[in-house]
Structure 1
Amino acid sequence: MSILTRRRLLRRAALSATATAGAGLSAAAAGAGLTAATGVLAAGCDAPKGGDPTADPTAERVRFPHDFGWGAATSAYQIEGAAKEDGRGESVWDTFSHTPGRTRNGDTGDVAADHYHRWADDLDLMRDLGLRSYRFSISWPRIQADGTGKPNQRGLDFYKRIIGGLHERGIAPMVTLFHWDLPQALQDDGGWENRDTAHRFADYADTVFRGIGDQVPVWLTINEPKTVVQNGYLWGHHAPGRQDADAAYLVAHHLQLAHGLAVRALRATGFDTRIGPALNLHPCYPADDSPAAAAAATLHDGYENRLYLDSILTGAYPADVLADLGPDSRMAKGIRDGDLETIASPVDLLAVQYYTPLYLTGNGNTVTRWPTSEADWQQIYPQGMYDILTRVTRDYGPVPITVTENGLPCPDTLGPDGTVDDAGRIAFLRDHLTAVHRAIADGVPLESYHVWSLLDNFEWAEGYDQRWGLVYVDYPTQRRIPKRSAHWYRQVIRDNGL
């Protein structure tokens, strides 16, 4: 990788992390069918109090397919706690969060939402909400403390109890193998820069599959490899906290390789279960009508989306991204014969996670076009959900899709009556579900939708300052309080529509 390309990638990462406000929507974007975000105001959570903030009595009711899977999502490090119990080893997030200055207020996931001890009550909560699907992750260091070797039976048993409890309550488990909590021992040996880590992941996946695999109808391999690449290795504000563009895209390749190896490991078991990746996809639009902005949006789309979609679904990395990285990049030199064939091992479904669009100017800068949430990187733009879902089907064919994350942080507080009125979250979810329904009507084979997230939790570098859950967690007491959005979502599930 040339010095120029390395500097450009780091600059792009910095600009993406601190997008600046731009002018009005370009004619090019308008021509692409983009519309104003509806129902959600500037702060993302400032919808009016009282009544349904988005209800339109004249609107036709929206109905979803009769077998649609309504769900919610969590991840292990964000909710489990019990960081040093029952043989769990240390992860990169234990190390990162305990390093001064890395997380807001010095928060850690040591206790989080204490799900490890409160799982049965949390499953009852899911049942009461009417969930049909629950997407969660397994903690790799809870299964293998140092990332290798014989499994920790106490860790496997914990997840067996959760999976069995879900089946007892009529909720389908959807299990992610890796949601960023790499065992620290593997990081000490080079982490995802070390090709061997992909093979250690395949061994771990095989251990989990053979321990509990036949009880899980849907497996997801790697959660948001792009976030590990960008946040962990370009920006440095996620574990392991690196800022090295050349390392970042070698990591991207090894994460993709790990995905493919895990798919093959599941096939080798003979279990009749499904598997696929979980990718956060950001639609990329030109910020103005210039050819330069269009070219910048196309290249940015390569880094944001096609790098992961193309390799998994077509067996090739996008040529423009490889050219931009250069033939001497660590990624280019790290690709071996047969790797792309492994990465493209056939999958059964694609998990899509949508939070925000991106707008690119001619010089490659990102600009903000829509109101942002408490997470200042998140622009509230429901049309982007429709655009990314229809784009995947258009460009890659009718691969079954599940939405595994979509949500909004709000400054939720307990009211005097002990309730949480998060009207803005209801507006956000209604608008995005409307976009989801339009995508289904236009031919997208979407099977299910999962709100991020079920519970308020440890929000990575933001600690506990951001609340994303349908359910309020009072951290001092660990009391669970369903928010207004939870009651609303329960009715959506009962009605199978809006």
Structure 2
Amino acid sequence: MKYAFPDNFWWGSASSALQTEGAREGETTWDYWFAREPNRFHNGVGPQQTSTFYQHWKTDIQLLKQLNHNSFRTSISWARLIPDGIGEVNPEAVDFYNQVIDELNEQGITPFITLFHFDMPMAMQEIGGWENRDVVDAYARYAQICFELFGDRVLHWFTFNEPIVPVEGGYLYDFHYPNVVDFRRAATVAYHTVLAHSKAVQAYRAGHYAGEIGIVLNLTPSYPRSQNPADVKAAHIADLMFNRSFLDPVLRGEYPADLVALLKSCDQLPACKPEDGFLIAEGKIDLLGVNYYQPRRVKCRDSAVNPQAPFMPEWFFDSYEMPGRKMNPYRGWEIYEPGIYDILVNLRDNYGNPRCFISENGMGVENEQRFIENGQINDQYRIEFISEHLAWLHKGISEGCNCLGYHMWTFIDNWSWCNAYKNRYGFIQLDLKTQQRTIKKSGEWFAATALNNSFDKE
């Protein structure tokens, strides 16, 4: 069967500043944490050891061209542009980002630029990070500077990438700095992130720029174990906390009433100001990026909550391991292709069918050298992963979902937070020692798919 996609469909990939560029002048939370606890990072590999995009941007963009990308998402590093978060702009960073943006445009690759991809300047974290409203204002200033510097040539902006992840990692589950376990502080961080997003959208609108502004959310459909009311309620609460806590403010301009009521009943609401509601309503977006990797399967709790334990989302649900599920054993994630369709249908039916695109989807695999044939990684598993997801994406589009493109994570194998280089995700293999790049089989497949705006599948 042939799967053909709409004209001007965005074919590309996504990356981030911190995971690709290498060392910078301004210290981030990741640099700080790695210097103090390198044992928390796979094989002790930290954020200095990247795919050196800062040095190799020009040849890397040529590779993007070779893979027939018509679009590419990366981020600006706040700590590179404004090393202390609030002070002088670093002219070398301005030169670097100008060169990258100009080269992408020259090669016919539309730049999609994210303003914040987990890389908090350490100077901002030291005054409380997203818990402090002064940091919200500092971020809004940073965003405005970016719009002024680059807004004439960047027409697709994203305020945040996966804003729920620093909330989960930094303030609930201890996999990002500052390694706090405290729900109310997590809720404050999430709330202030929405305020920061809205302030950036406000600044963008006020500047009358030619492009559009959005946000990138990692949406994990919450599937109940069964239709038993207790399971359905558990899935609903998981959805409220992990999806709708950001989805509703950016698409509807307000929080779900039942989420607010739930947090209020548990005395976990963040401190709000009377004018916040107006600001949040101003933060409605033009374009939603959807990152999809895995579903969330939940059931009602089987046991009573320990009242002495910290208040957590899991007070309301347990995770459920569905028998017979398909797994990526390296990442420990379920592979469930229809989830991408379910997300699009939910957006169409419940959120007014917003303009959206798949901004990340990907498969991390360990020790890919096993699959080298004639000097090239034959990652047929990745081709199958992409084509299966694209088939469900195609079904959504054919049923009226307003999905405009598909970006894979990622372009070149890159450094991935605490996992470092444990799992590789790229279309292009990176030799960390020599920095040599070699296109994988999946890269060739994707290049052909992008060129033809279609692919064939049995």
What is the TM-score with the length of structure 1 in the denominator?
Answer: 0.85
C-alpha RMSD of matched pairs (Å): 1.4
Residue 379 of structure 2, aligned match among 398, 422, 427: 422
Q: Does 1:386 align with 2:327?
A: no
The whole-number CA distance in structure 2 between the counterparts of 1:384 and 1:183 is 34
Q: Which runs of 5+ in 1 are unaligned?
A: 1-59
The residue that corresponds to 2:168 in the other structure is 230
Q: Answer whether contact 1:470 1:486 (CA < 8 A) is retained.
A: yes
Where 2:114 maps in the other structure, the secondary structure is strand
Please report how far the alpha carbon of residue 371 of structure 1 lies from its aligned counterpart in structure 2 after TM superposition: 2.0
Q: Answer whether contact 2:295 2:336 (CA < 8 A) is retained.
A: yes
The whole-number CA distance in structure 2 between the counterparts of 1:416 and 1:434 is 28
1:333-482 mapped onto 2 (5 Å cutoff): 333-345=270-282, 346-363=284-301, 364-369=317-322, 370-411=325-366, 412-413=368-369, 415=372, 417-482=374-439
Residue 262 of structure 1, aligned match among 180, 200, 205: 200
The residue that corresponds to 2:6 in the other structure is 65
Q: Does 1:121 align with 2:54?
A: no
The whole-number CA distance in structure 2 between the counterparts of 1:219 and 1:70 is 17
1:3-152 mapped onto 2 (5 Å cutoff): 60-81=1-22, 83-84=23-24, 88-100=25-37, 101-152=39-90
Residue 208 of structure 1, aligned match among 136, 139, 146: 146
The whole-number CA distance in structure 2 between the counterparts of 1:285 and 1:482 is 37
Q: How many residues align?
A: 434
The whole-number CA distance in structure 1 between the counterparts of 2:434 and 2:13 is 23
Q: Answer whether contact 1:327 1:333 (CA < 8 A) is retained.
A: no
Where 2:223 maps in the other structure, the secondary structure is strand
Return 298-307 or 231-240, whichever deviates more. 231-240
**Structure 1 residues 320 and 154, CA, compared in 2 at 3 Å: closer, same or farther?**
same
The whole-number CA distance in structure 2 between the counterparts of 1:339 and 1:417 is 59
The whole-number CA distance in structure 2 between the counterparts of 1:291 and 1:327 is 21
Moved runs in structure 1, 4+ residues, more than 6 A? none
The whole-number CA distance in structure 2 between the counterparts of 1:410 and 1:240 is 28
Please report how far the alpha carbon of residue 213 of structure 1 lies from its aligned counterpart in structure 2 after TM superposition: 1.2
Q: Which amino acid aligns with 1:230?
A: E
Please report how far the alpha carbon of residue 130 of structure 1 lies from its aligned counterpart in structure 2 after TM superposition: 0.5
Q: Answer whether contact 1:406 1:452 (CA < 8 A) is retained.
A: yes
**Structure 1 residues 203 and 322, CA, compared in 2 at 3 Å: closer, same or farther?**
same
Q: Spell out, residue by residue over 1:46-74, the C-alpha distance to the aligned partner (whole angstroms, 9 max, x if none).
A: xxxxxxxxxxxxxx201000111101000
1:307-346 mapped onto 2 (5 Å cutoff): 307-326=245-264, 329=267, 332-345=269-282, 346=284
Please report how far the alpha carbon of residue 307 of structure 1 lies from its aligned counterpart in structure 2 after TM superposition: 1.0
Please report how far the alpha carbon of residue 417 of structure 1 lies from its aligned counterpart in structure 2 after TM superposition: 2.1
Q: Answer whether contact 2:184 2:270 (CA < 8 A) is retained.
A: no
**Structure 1 residues 97 and 344, CA, compared in 2 at 3 Å: closer, same or farther?**
farther
Where 2:18 maps in the other structure, the secondary structure is helix
Please report how far the alpha carbon of residue 375 of structure 1 lies from its aligned counterpart in structure 2 after TM superposition: 4.9
Where 1:151 maps in the other structure, the secondary structure is coil
The whole-number CA distance in structure 2 between the counterparts of 1:329 and 1:236 is 22
The whole-number CA distance in structure 1 between the counterparts of 2:160 and 2:451 is 31
Q: Spell out, residue by residue over 1:111-160, the C-alpha distance to the aligned partner (whole angstroms, 9 max, x if none).
A: 31011000001000001111000000000000110100221111111111
Please report how far the alpha carbon of residue 327 of structure 1 lies from its aligned counterpart in structure 2 after TM superposition: 5.6
Q: Answer whether contact 1:374 1:409 (CA < 8 A) is retained.
A: no
The residue that corresponds to 1:18 in the other structure is none
The whole-number CA distance in structure 1 between the counterparts of 2:203 and 2:321 is 42
The whole-number CA distance in structure 2 between the counterparts of 1:374 and 1:175 is 32
Q: Answer whether contact 1:313 1:344 (CA < 8 A) is retained.
A: no
What is the TM-score with the length of structure 2 in the denominator?
Answer: 0.92
Q: Which amino acid aligns with 2:174?
A: G
Higher relative contact order (CA 8 A, sep 6+): 1
The whole-number CA distance in structure 2 between the counterparts of 1:497 and 1:213 is 32
Please report how far the alpha carbon of residue 377 of structure 1 lies from its aligned counterpart in structure 2 after TM superposition: 4.5
Q: Spell out, residue by residue over 1:422-469, the C-alpha distance to the aligned partner (whole angstroms, 9 max, x if none).
A: 111110000001111111111111111100011111111111111011
**Structure 1 residues 377 and 200, CA, compared in 2 at 3 Å: closer, same or farther?**
farther
The whole-number CA distance in structure 2 between the counterparts of 1:340 and 1:406 is 33
- Percentage identity across paired residues of the two chains: 38
The whole-number CA distance in structure 2 between the counterparts of 1:312 and 1:129 is 33
Please report how far the alpha carbon of residue 322 of structure 1 lies from its aligned counterpart in structure 2 after TM superposition: 2.1
Please report how far the alpha carbon of residue 374 of structure 1 lies from its aligned counterpart in structure 2 after TM superposition: 4.1
The whole-number CA distance in structure 2 between the counterparts of 1:196 and 1:121 is 39
The residue that corresponds to 1:41 in the other structure is none
The residue that corresponds to 1:28 in the other structure is none
**Structure 1 residues 202 and 327, CA, compared in 2 at 3 Å: closer, same or farther?**
farther
The residue that corresponds to 2:449 in the other structure is 492
Q: Which amino acid aligns with 1:402?
A: F
Where 1:368 maps in the other structure, the secondary structure is coil
